[in-house]
Structure 1
């Protein structure tokens, strides 16, 4: 979150349109959800939203109105937006969809995953409504969108008629790559996680093994090892390594590399039945502590000691490590 603001959001000046506006509205809502202090950014964010110049897309106008309310902006300035939304209302009371932007499903999935790992409630009616509003966009989205949409909606609602739609559930399975390779490993792993959340079967996959010769290749192997083990297909991957080898790599990565990659290595080790000792737990918790806390986000984590900002992805990785260690937090 802070990384997005530092590298993207802070450079936006004046009223925004299109995808820039969608991203900024999503940032405001996610920041509020995670308790990030936006007070120092409020003047710029209000200028970015500018409800006095409402977008012609009624759903984007609605998104802007919700973000403006989250910022506690002056309600009177929403009048042009209300008129714009009402102007598009159909006789039956519905508002037609014009915008094809699906929004950041991955960010929503990360938030729901983090809530689940931290034993926080995942039910979120506002998120569920937003997902349903963009359901028609799934047909124009890339592979994996159906699986992610269904898994996030299941978390946000606890399961409804929408999440049992046979067409979407079938597409969630058929979208899965038939070959697991260095090029498909990340998308395959993400889709498998969604299918497991939905209690859907994971089809057998052909594995085109790749060497662990670079940090990126090792990271992708960690993802593959964890999910191949969980789905009973580990034998298809050549030389996956031993649980202790993977755990040692994870500890080294946390000590001098990336929290995100360390969590992947440790999750792979756990999938191969690695059992951390008390010394392992103490070492990993000690390495995690300096990565927690940034200005305005004391509960979040950064990816490494040199990173200046904390984010949801790194925080989710930290909580994956907590779960692997069998603890509920770093305290």
Structure 2
């Protein structure tokens, strides 16, 4: 039976099989595909923690599996997560912060939050979350559940005045048909019933038998459901489980269906769905071995401070995607990428697509290197526009000029040789600017136009001293320029390169990419392009590029 949750139960496509035949080195870029928009994202995003909601479910899942996660999150990061959470929801936002507080981030949630929650209690007994509204029982129930969870986590639930506690219990009872003047619906939706049962349990009130009599959501039709319908079925099963647990009963869940769903989805499910599925199967009595893939994934996504990253939330863009295509070109890997073209099509058809010249040129370059074809008139016009591509290059705008020239080359548009200022290459910044000019001209096929004042002699001592530069990319640029101008790869330079570049290779899941350097441990596509291009220029002498497929 098909056990996929978020994808269709269909056969593997020819394009998928083609990807599977690619070398492992080529496939590492798959890790950088954005689930949000289909572009590739910059790998430094992987050093950022998940947002408060995803973080909450990831940490809850670890706790559910007995890991007792601990964090050492910087106070500024905690403040950022807290701000994002409360901006989204005054009650559920605080609920998301509970696992972070339990993991050691004490400033994520405190006594003042209990007071803030109590102020959100309405006279009718429910709690009001402006993000949910106050015009339906479902919204009031959701807010009340979240409020009680927060008060319980902070140890303030027992501090509720007796009248307030009784009022809330009475209102909840009115939804179940167990209090005077009740207005219970005939068939309370499972999500509302689950929230109701959990809220009653938190208040120490009994869960009415009528709520617990519903059978578990069916699973016999699971393979025929759409991905959205399967996700809804999981939500309903989770709510059913909450009801049974609140009543002190073991949920009667079909483990033969849900365990394969977890097995097949452990590496890819969004954290909220992962948590729900783990909770359901734990409550149903699944053995510990079933959860091993979940722990493997979450352990792999933990950052040094104990928080968890969330790759599903990363936003890709044409800039990162262009660097992926440039790296593929250096290795002679295929740049055919239908997913990337689809992302480009979606952005260009969207209402908020940027019409700024640099962004338009980036998209034109990406389309050219991915789909092939002729040079667009738009690219020619942009590369002739001095507002986009400077016609005078100075120490200050050399980087902008070089990056734009590279985009023009990818777009297939020729560029005129600009006027160049002169400056003395006597500081790291000025040396990098001079090297940027030399590399930019070489990459656009205009190597003979490198200004005469940029020489190998002027760059030699800098090429031999990687410690003078704050980033690996800048150092690689300088060595590229030195080599282009005739500098030799002698023993002294080899030693400098081995010390200044080789140790920075590799990040988790990205073994052939290079880190930023200068104290920044994140991998970076631009840095990798700089290193790979330098190695190609040195005829592979340093072995910095991925090993050829099949050793060839």
Q: If the length of structure 2 is used for normalisation, what is the TM-score?
A: 0.39
Quick check: 1:143–1:176 contact (8 Å CA) kept in 2? no
Report whether the alignment pairs 1:3 with 2:44: yes
SS in 1 for 2:326: helix
Deviation at 1:223, TM superposition (A): 0.6
**Unaligned stretches of 5+ residues in structure 2:** 1-41, 56-80, 89-227, 232-264, 274-314, 548-552
Seen in structure 2, the aligned counterparts of structure 1 residues 214 and 201 have a Cα distance that, compared at 3 Å, is same
Structure 1 distance, partners of 2:403, 2:342, is 23
Seen in structure 2, the aligned counterparts of structure 1 residues 187 and 149 have a Cα distance that, compared at 3 Å, is same
SS in 2 for 1:10: coil
Deviation at 1:103, TM superposition (A): 5.8
Deviation at 1:187, TM superposition (A): 1.4
**Aligned alpha-carbon RMSD (Å):** 3.8
Quick check: 1:250–1:264 contact (8 Å CA) kept in 2? no
Structure 2 distance, partners of 1:282, 1:218, is 21
Deviation at 1:285, TM superposition (A): 4.1
Report whether the alignment pairs 1:12 with 2:51: yes
Quick check: 1:290–1:305 contact (8 Å CA) kept in 2? no
**Unaligned stretches of 5+ residues in structure 1:** 17-43, 49-64, 78-101
Quick check: 2:428–2:468 contact (8 Å CA) kept in 1? no
Quick check: 1:173–1:195 contact (8 Å CA) kept in 2? no
Structure 2 distance, partners of 1:116, 1:70, is 33
Quick check: 1:254–1:288 contact (8 Å CA) kept in 2? no
Structure 2 distance, partners of 1:305, 1:194, is 27
Seen in structure 2, the aligned counterparts of structure 1 residues 123 and 278 have a Cα distance that, compared at 3 Å, is farther
Quick check: 1:243–1:270 contact (8 Å CA) kept in 2? yes
- Determine the structure 2 residue equivalent to 1:113: 326
Q: If the length of structure 1 is used for normalisation, what is the TM-score?
A: 0.62
Seen in structure 2, the aligned counterparts of structure 1 residues 129 and 278 have a Cα distance that, compared at 3 Å, is farther
- Higher mean alpha-carbon deviation, 246-255 vs 119-128, is at 246-255
Seen in structure 2, the aligned counterparts of structure 1 residues 71 and 165 have a Cα distance that, compared at 3 Å, is farther
- Higher mean alpha-carbon deviation, 298-307 vs 170-179, is at 298-307
- Higher mean alpha-carbon deviation, 294-303 vs 272-281, is at 272-281
Deviation at 1:264, TM superposition (A): 0.7
* Corresponding residue to 2:377 among 153, 160, 166: 166
Equivalent residues in 2 for 1:188-199, closer than 5 Å: 188-199=401-412
Report whether the alignment pairs 1:73 with 2:269: yes
Quick check: 2:318–2:362 contact (8 Å CA) kept in 1? yes
Report whether the alignment pairs 1:202 with 2:241: no
What is the count of residue pairs matched by the alignment? Answer: 251
Equivalent residues in 2 for 1:1-331, closer than 5 Å: 1-6=42-47, 9-10=48-49, 12-14=51-53, 72-73=268-269, 104-135=317-348, 140-157=354-371, 159-160=372-373, 164-174=375-385, 175-228=388-441, 230-231=445-446, 232-235=448-451, 239-240=453-454, 242-253=455-466, 257-277=470-490, 280-281=493-494, 284-285=497-498, 287-304=500-517, 306-327=519-540, 329-330=543-544
Quick check: 1:253–1:261 contact (8 Å CA) kept in 2? no
Quick check: 1:185–1:220 contact (8 Å CA) kept in 2? yes
Structure 2 distance, partners of 1:123, 1:182, is 37
